[in-house]
Amino acid sequence: MSILINKSTRLIVQGITGRDGSFHTQKMQAYGTNIVAGTSPGKGGTEILGVPVFNTVYEAVQQTQANTSIIFVPAAFAADAVMEAADAGIKLIVCISEGVPTLDAVRAYRFAQLKGAKLIGPNCPGLMSPEQCLVGILPGQIFTKGNIGVISRSGTLTYEVVYHLTQSGMGQSTAIGMGGDPVVRLYFKELLEMLENDPETEAIVMIGEIGGNAEELAAEYIKKNVTKPVIGFIAGQAAPVGKQMGHAGAIIAGGSGTAAEKIAALEAAGVQVAGEPSDIPQMIRNLLNKRET
């Protein structure tokens, strides 16, 4: 089973005629994702890669019954694209665009929330349900179907951890890259709840990084609500205080949000924290074996 996306997902690509939009449309199509429409203002009525192009998301939804959207538009227009999708009735929006101004992200997040839409991103790699659907820019060849859920603030670490899992014979149920900006929509708590309730997810890998308090809040939630084994990894353990490490959200401010604090919070909640991504498969195997004995 999977969360959020599956074979019945009907996807719109906002910005499909741009360089990134068209490139990743091909990749998603090759994986088997059902892309039913694209949007590009002024290019309605055309077609690209066999996909009909519409001027607006509303038109696309009315014509194709799409339920999911992925956004490949410049940062200056990303918030409007999110709100357009939510207003058209799209219930899952994945915003790949990076460099979105924080106040724009706040505005888009609130609008999507009011419309009952789930938003992943911005500045995220998207999500993958192996052998079912890819909505994003994740490398499909490293994934395999299985029972390990992966949620992550880091795109590249998602790929590394999934690679190690697959090489160890451990497939994934769903992998979600949440994005590394200061403001993103679906975060650890909501995704942990979804994976906890997914009957085919047996264990969860949670990849965090320095900055903010998302991992600490997740630790509180895990302690009270999650019964499945959770393995954690925190990136930026050697980062000096005040140093931004790649992501806009990965900055330690005023001594808070350090790797040590996050690791301590997770361990206090019963989460085993890996020292290296390559350690994760064996740690999961040990926990699952312990549960069976």
User: Residues with catalytic annotation?
Assistant: 247
Dist. CA 51–CA 139, nearest whole Å: 22
Bond prior to 240 in cis (omega within 30° of 0): no
Half-sphere exposure of 171 (CA within 13 A, CB side): 15
Residue 145 in tokens: 């179907």
Residue 288 in tokens: 């699952």
How does strand 47-48 pair with strand 51-54? antiparallel
Residue 67 in tokens: 């339920």
SS (H, E, C) 224-237: HHCCCCEEEEEECC
Residue that has been written with the tokens 């393995």 in this structure: 231
Give DSSP secondary structure letters for 17-31. TSHHHHHHHHHHHHH
Q: How far does CA 56 lie from the centroid of its chain?
A: 25
For CA atoms 261, 204, 181, 164, the dihedral sign is positive
